[in-house]
Structure 1
Amino acid sequence: MTANPRGTRLPPFDAVLCDLDGVIRFYDTSEVTRLERAAGLPEGTTASLGYAPENDLPLLLGRITREQWADSIVQGLLPRVSPDEAETLALAFTTADFRADETVVGLLRRVRDHCPLVLVTNATRWLDEDLRRLGLTGLAHSVVNSSHVGVAKPDPRIYEIAVARAGVPPDRCLFVDDRRENVDAAVALGMTGVLHRDAAGLGAALAAALGHWAA
């Protein structure tokens, strides 16, 4: 914790920039796994295609639709499975249900009461709908969505946009993400980085600031 020129102790950061998927939101892929087993495919085959950069990045940059993304998965699954199986797998994967980690959400709501909270996410153009389904429309002060701004993590430009939205210098930002390369990119810009593993770890990272604000 640092001090300002008048000697008053400051919290360890003045804004939190936080990832969505893998930190707040988690997908239920059990139906995809069941379908893969029934089709004789190794578990994770569909995800490896869906998240392959040549299929995933155009979606996250807002250049293709959900239907085009699903079609790219279908094409990757053929001829290992029948056309019907490929389409069923692609549909199940691209429309999989999801949930929020309510412990993480609770921590972030406490943060939001005291400093800017910005979601920085490689996400789709239908993210606003997803946030409504999760009941998280008002969780953050701002959402920096790659498919809207046209750049994706770990490109430095998306971090610069998020810092501008937060309205504080990079060295006063705490950045949280579940991917090492994304955290490293934030640290390279002067932020404090937290590699997310679970809610307990996030709570520990936020504890000093939350304690300061409570005092």
Structure 2
Amino acid sequence: MPEAIVFDLYGVLARDQSEESKRAIERLAGVADGRAREFWEAYWALRPAYDAGQPTTEYWQAVSARLDTVFEDVAALADADLESWTRADDEMVALVGELADRGHRLGLLSNIISDLVPLMEKRHGRWLGRFDALTYSCRIGVAKPDPRAYEICAAQLGVPTSQVLFFDDREENVLAARRTGMTAELFTSPSQTRQAIAAHFS
């Protein structure tokens, strides 16, 4: 039986960007018709360094250089990007509370940029406070699927990786977790997560 349950944040406990927020970011970036795909490819290709602690201005400079363009208002673009990542999934938040109330040791392992951490903790501090350890990529200097991220998370929880049940919505992160010894499940829905937890703790 696992000693700790660890959740990814985005795509599991918090929602991914909405289509509306994406369009707002594209407008602020001055993305021309037909270049949206190119913009998002650059956005994601350069994200790992940003998740691992790269300053915001350097990230957006790198994106603009990749696209061979100049963003007119980087501050507004960065703010819109931050805002797009602040929505929580109420059903999963409720599950966190239930697990904490039952005495489970809980951890969070998130690829997250440094400017977003204080915003998330301000808005969602009540339920984030139910975790025994919050492991943020920007603060540990590595991001999933780097094995060190999982090892640091387990160490912060005070358990070996072999005693962690981990949930993530990205298959590459699930497979990487398993390679470190964690029991890992691909997140698909709150109900699937509840069933998986029940199976592991029955």
TM-score past 0.5 threshold: yes
How has the CA–CA distance of structure 1 residues 118 and 77 changed in structure 2, closer, same or farther, with 3 Å as cutoff?
same
Which structure 2 residues correspond to residues 43-122 of structure 1 after superposition, within 5 A? 43-52=36-45, 55-62=46-53, 64-79=54-69, 83-84=71-72, 90-91=77-78, 94-97=81-84, 98-113=86-101, 114-122=103-111
Give yes or no for the alignment of 1:145 onto 2:145: no
Query: How many aligned positions are there?
Result: 194
Please report how far the alpha carbon of residue 16 of structure 1 lies from its aligned counterpart in structure 2 after TM superposition.
Answer: 0.5
TM-score, normalising length: structure 1: 0.77
Query: Secondary structure in 1 aligned to 2:65?
Result: helix
Please report how far the alpha carbon of residue 88 of structure 1 lies from its aligned counterpart in structure 2 after TM superposition.
Answer: 8.9
8 A contact 1:19–1:121 mirrored in 2? yes
8 A contact 1:70–1:94 mirrored in 2? no
What amino acid is the match of 2:132?
H
8 A contact 1:32–1:89 mirrored in 2? no
Which structure 2 residues correspond to residues 1-215 of structure 1 after superposition, within 5 A? 12-26=1-15, 27-33=17-23, 36=26, 39-52=32-45, 55-62=46-53, 64-79=54-69, 83-84=71-72, 90-91=77-78, 94-97=81-84, 98-113=86-101, 114-126=103-115, 127-135=117-125, 136-208=127-199
Give the whole-Å Cα distance in 1 for the aligned partners of 2:78 and 2:160: 42
Give the whole-Å Cα distance in 2 for the aligned partners of 1:87 and 1:155: 29
8 A contact 2:51–2:111 mirrored in 1? yes
Deviations 1:149-202 (A, max 9, x none): 112211221211111222233232101111111111211222211101221211
8 A contact 1:74–1:87 mirrored in 2? no
What amino acid is the match of 1:76?
R
Greater radius of gyration (CA): 1
How has the CA–CA distance of structure 1 residues 35 and 118 changed in structure 2, closer, same or farther, with 3 Å as cutoff?
closer
Gaps of 5+ in 1: 1-11
TM-score, normalising length: structure 2: 0.81
8 A contact 2:25–2:77 mirrored in 1? no
Query: Secondary structure in 1 aligned to 2:83?
Result: coil
- The Cα RMSD (Å) is 2.7
Give the whole-Å Cα distance in 1 for the aligned partners of 2:181 and 2:147: 11
8 A contact 1:25–1:101 mirrored in 2? yes
